[in-house]
Amino acid sequence: MNIKPFLTEAELPFCKGCGHSSVAQNTEKALQKMNLDPLDVILVTDIGCHGIIDKNFLSHTVHGLHGRAVALAGGVAAGVNNSDKKIITFIGDGGATIGMQHLIGAAHMGFNITVVIHNNMLYGMTGGQPSEFTPCGFKTPTLPEGSAKAGYDICEIIASAGASYVQRVAGVGDYSDSLVNAFSAKGFSLVEVMEICPSYGVKSNPGMKLSKVIEDSGLAVKVFVDGRDKEYVTPIDSSPKSLISDKFNVDVKYSHNLSKPVSIMMSGSAGEGVQSAAEFLAKAAMTAGLHATKKGSYPVTVGVGFSASEVIISPEPILYTGSPVPDVLIITSVDGLNYAKAAAARMKGGLLLVDESLDVPQTGAKVVKFPFRERVGARNSAFYSIFWYLNNNNPFPIEALKDIFMNNKISEKVKIETMLQF
């Protein structure tokens, strides 16, 4: 059996003795016992100390807003709609407090996810404020007199909401079998892992033992529900639509010249066609048999400021869509220059294509200046830059891009010949 690692070799990011480390290690062990592949696991983390583990996981990871990780994971589960994929949510007692309705709703719906609550009885990352899970009498740095009321018994709440599997464990030693049971359950499962935060919980309650807190709080360490098997199944449209556009059928007509992925970052101004040009580039690459991803970045004020896009084109499937250091950086405006300066500085090689009107930022890339704006105007400069890039670098035939351009209504306003003057 080929047991795969789920954690990188990097040191875990928590304070010494933090129970969050043991959750990560037990999770890895449980997934290995199930002989799963990291690419079949999607870990959705919440805000808080526990959430910074995602960079150590070799599975897919998504980092949510505080309290919203369960809602996010429910959406992932409904979209993936495949019970062979494990969707695991890590959340703190703080996040579970903030997102309580999401937890109850997800259990009620029976979303195919496992929620692992890291209950250290306080908000760890922000210095130890009490949560609704803080037990009666438990002190925190901001509540030195101790909580006057009992914390929620989340296991009771979630069991009554309709979960398939619910268990509370003390977060010490090996509890990977409990996680295996939860990960194997059909529908919604939850494991509440009881911990004490060494940095704030122990400091505020000197000498307090985890077992004593659990005992005093009256919280039962047990399996609350097992084997209900209520599973949300997403209704399937018999003719599922492409995520890109139902009007875009990828018809591979061209061949390509790439042996490895190339990441192309385009950085310009809102209203100057950057997002559309990047999309054209990605689509054209697909018609040349390449895999492609495209990400857009722009301020919430979508009509002003910078507009940037990262396109990856690759002969292999693209498993990670980030590209902090682009291979090719195309800058077509002052806004784009300001936004992309940091990326340019990170480049130790590759190509920086910059409009002639702009200063050249500090970079280790080969710099080429070209008068995109002057030749075709600001609005078309991004389109022109990708034609220029394909013409001069030939990752795949420029004809592929011409096809995409001609099939778009932009070709009614902008003559393709203007894009082909090099």
> What is the nearest approach in angstroms of ligand TPP to the Cβ of residue 151?
12
> What is the nearest approach in angstroms of ligand TPP to the Cβ of residue 237?
34
Smaller CB distance to ligand TPP: residue 126 or 393? 126
* C-beta nearest to ligand SF4: residue: 124
**Closest to 278 (Cα-Cα) out of 320, 323, 319, 316:** 323
> What is the nearest approach in angstroms of ligand TPP to the Cβ of residue 65?
6
> What is the nearest approach in angstroms of ligand TPP to the Cβ of residue 239?
39
Measured in degrees and rounded to the nearest 5, phi and psi for residue 119 equal -90, 90
Using CB under 6 A, list all residues that contact ligand SF4: 14-15, 18, 20, 49, 120, 124-125, 197-200
**Closest to 389 (Cα-Cα) out of 317, 315, 320, 311:** 311
Q: Is 138 in the site for ligand TPP (CB under 6 A)?
A: no
Contacting range for ligand TPP; rule: CB under 6 A; set: 125-133, 182-190, 207-215, 371-379: 125-133
Contacting range for ligand TPP; rule: CB under 6 A; set: 120-128, 136-144, 232-240, 331-339: 120-128
> What is the nearest approach in angstroms of ligand TPP to the Cβ of residue 94?
3
Terminal-residue alpha carbon distance, the chain: 57
Q: Is 120 in the site for ligand TPP (CB under 6 A)?
A: yes
Candidates 57, 123, 188, 387; binder of ligand TPP (CB under 6 A) is: 123
> How far apart are alpha carbons 193 and 17 in whole angstroms?
15
Contacted entry of ligand SF4, ligand TPP, none for residue 95, CB cut-off 5 to 8 Å set by kind: ligand TPP
Buried b (16+ CB within 10 A) or exposed e, 37-69: ebeebbbbbbbbbbbbbbebbbbbbbbbebbbb
Q: Is 59 in the site for ligand TPP (CB under 6 A)?
A: no
Task: Find the helix packing angle between 381-393 and 274-287, rounded to 10°.
Answer: 30
Smaller CB distance to ligand SF4: residue 140 or 269? 140
Question: H-type helices in 52-149, by residue range?
Answer: 69-80, 93-98, 100-109
> How far apart are alpha carbons 398 and 257 in whole angstroms?
12
Smaller CB distance to ligand SF4: residue 203 or 212? 203
Smaller CB distance to ligand SF4: residue 28 or 310? 28
Helix, strand, coil distribution of the chain in percent, nearest 5: 35, 20, 45
> What is the nearest approach in angstroms of ligand SF4 to the Cβ of residue 199?
4
Smaller CB distance to ligand TPP: residue 26 or 131? 131
Alpha-carbon Rg of the chain, whole angstroms?
26
> What is the nearest approach in angstroms of ligand TPP to the Cβ of residue 180?
23
Q: Which residue has the tokens 């190509």?
A: 351
> What is the nearest approach in angstroms of ligand TPP to the Cβ of residue 268?
32
Residue 86, strand partner residues: 41
Identity at 395, one-letter amino acid code = P
121 neighbors 133 (Cβ within 8 angstroms): yes
Contacted entry of ligand SF4, ligand TPP, none for residue 15, CB cut-off 5 to 8 Å set by kind: ligand SF4
Task: Find the helix packing angle between 398-406 and 381-393, rounded to 10°.
Answer: 150
Smaller CB distance to ligand TPP: residue 123 or 224? 123
Number of neighbouring beta carbons within 10 Å of residue 398: 20
Q: Is 50 in the site for ligand TPP (CB under 6 A)?
A: yes
Smaller CB distance to ligand SF4: residue 6 or 123? 123
> How far apart are alpha carbons 103 and 117 in whole angstroms?
11
How many residues sit close enough to ligand TPP to count as binding (CB under 6 A)?
A: 18
CA torsion angle 282 285 287 291 (round to 10): -80
- What residues line the site for ligand TPP (CB under 6 A)? 47-50, 66-67, 92-95, 98, 118, 120, 123-126, 131
